[in-house]
Amino acid sequence: MACTTILVGKDASYDGSTIIARNEDSANGEFCPKQFIVVKPEDQPRKYRAVISHVQIDLPDDPMQYTSVPNADLKEGVWGEAGVNEANVAMSATETLTTNERVLGADPFVELVPAKGKEGEDGYEPEVAGGIGEEDFLTIVLPYVRTAREGVERLGALLEEYGTYEMNGVAFSDVNEIWWMETVGGHHWIAKRVPDSAYVTMPNQLGIDEFDLDDALGEQSEHMCSADLGEFIERNHLDLSVEAASPFNPRDAFGSHSDSDHVYNTPRAWWMQRFLNPYDEMWDGQDADHRPENNDIPWARQPERKVTIEDIKYVLSGHYQGTPYDPYGKLGDERTRHMYRPIGINRQSQLAVLQLRPYRPQAYRAIQWMAYGSNPFNTLVPFYANVDVTPAYLADTTTRVTSENFYWENRIIAALCDGAFADTANAVERYQEKTGAMGHRMVAATDEQASRLGFDAAEFDADNADGDVEPMDPDAIVSAVRNGEVREVLAAANQTMADQLKEETDKLLDSVLYTRSMAMKNGFHMSDF
């Protein structure tokens, strides 16, 4: 899958939240309808079998409830992608990454080997299952971890035991920290804590550019890795440093710098950082500090101002606005407008922005912002994660095209708008602004309503190192989150948000359909005489 990720540390975000966000893009030439659901403990499998790799895993018997954004069609598996569990741990999985031949020669992917012949006949060879991948990660990890760090540890152990058939980047967050994890070959992995004051951009390319191996193999305060990574690097001559450099550069050792990266990947990192740090560097022209095709665009950077939810939506909808590379723009020419792969593209499946707010009590601090379809033409709206059910408008997506669910309605709108970008842009922008404002109002009103149930954040002690108004150990968080009365309030708010969203999305569909219909070439009016 081709995706784009942004991670925002708590000191870099507008409200002190940790925020992890990612576009899930379907394969070229495909649509992938998505649902937004709650998975209850009784619905979580105890014996898991992957559809793609056929790997079978026994899962623990004590799963927590969690949100998930699975495929509407399960023919290729669940693909849960993004969610928050009852311990207020968020997970985004996965960002497909690149690697190189040296890594795969040293630690090959673990791919499914089909059976040969028929069982009982001479020469029969049984099937050999493959490893785990994007299809599986959320389902087999998120229900069982109580901190972001535990998420890295559990997935790391599963990778070492079962292996993987692809390169992936995975984000874990809790209210205190964000960890970014990258797979390395079939069984190895690295993970780095995102600096609190920074954001991270990830465009389908192995991204971590500085890594402290001593920390990862020792105290693990800011870095973690598979136990034998140091030996693996040395044995296979993967460290490309000219001198004994510190810290180690995983991007050089494990990643790729192909010609296709300079068309498909690096321009996206360039554009996101160009937007969030417009004055720190020169971004354009021959004397630019970083150009779209540069390999050394930083993995993490401190923004010039605090990053908002709207900033995240904007960069993850980006199509190189304000540059000669914008396919909808008037700068440049036909060649430049199609030079680079945009962030906001036609085959976007969903965008999930997972926000954990330290200034709200545990029972309602987790927000899962959701958008479906092509990001330049959709909207991003908030839903409380710790509820027992999600609204049908987002949950009941089917493979049948219909305007009665959020996924397909957005898909129809995008198809109508794409060919008349200038004529429909104002209507789309008004829709995005109005629904976004509705979302912020809904959250503020619901927070206030929940506080009247005795969950007033101001009553809690914020005098602690992390600024958490209600610091608790993980088991206590789970207990607090399972408050049925609060969950009913949050679910009702989510339903109100969905009802209002449906009304505004219907209006936008009406508007752009009218605009496009009036531009049809077979129009004829009496006034034409």
Q: Could you give the residue numbers annotated as active site?
A: 3
Q: How many C-beta neighbours within 10 Å does residue 42 have?
A: 7
Structure token digits, residue 134:
């994007």
Structure token digits, residue 470:
């209600």
Element (H, E) at 502: helix 484-518
Element (H, E) at 384: strand 381-384
Structure token digits, residue 281:
């560097």
Determine if residue 107 is left, alpha or beta; phi over 0 gives left, psi from -120 to 50 gives alpha, anything else beta: beta
DSSP E strand stretches across 47-198: 47-49, 56-58, 66-68, 82-84, 90-96, 168-173, 178-184, 188-193
Place of tokens 């497909």: 96
DSSP count for the chain of H helices, then E strands: 14, 17
Q: What is the maximum alpha-carbon separation in the chain?
A: 84
DSSP E strand stretches across 198-267: 199-202, 223-225
182: CB partners within 8 A, 6+ apart: 97, 167, 168, 169, 170, 189, 190, 191, 206, 207, 208, 250, 254
446: CB partners within 8 A, 6+ apart: 364, 384, 489, 490, 493
Cα separation of 414 and 451, whole Å?
Answer: 39
**Dihedral, 110, 113, 119, 120 alpha carbons, nearest 10:** -80
**Residue 10 near residue 16 (C-beta atoms within 8 A):** yes
Beta strands at 18-25 and 4-8: parallel, antiparallel or unpaired: antiparallel
Structure token digits, residue 98:
């690149």
Cα separation of 368 and 20, whole Å?
Answer: 10
Structure token digits, residue 522:
């077979």
347: CB partners within 8 A, 6+ apart: 25, 26, 27, 28, 29, 30, 31, 32, 374
Q: How many C-beta neighbours within 10 Å does residue 484 have?
A: 7
Beta strands at 47-49 and 366-372: parallel, antiparallel or unpaired: unpaired
Structure token digits, residue 443:
């959250």
Q: How many C-beta neighbours within 10 Å does residue 348 have?
A: 30
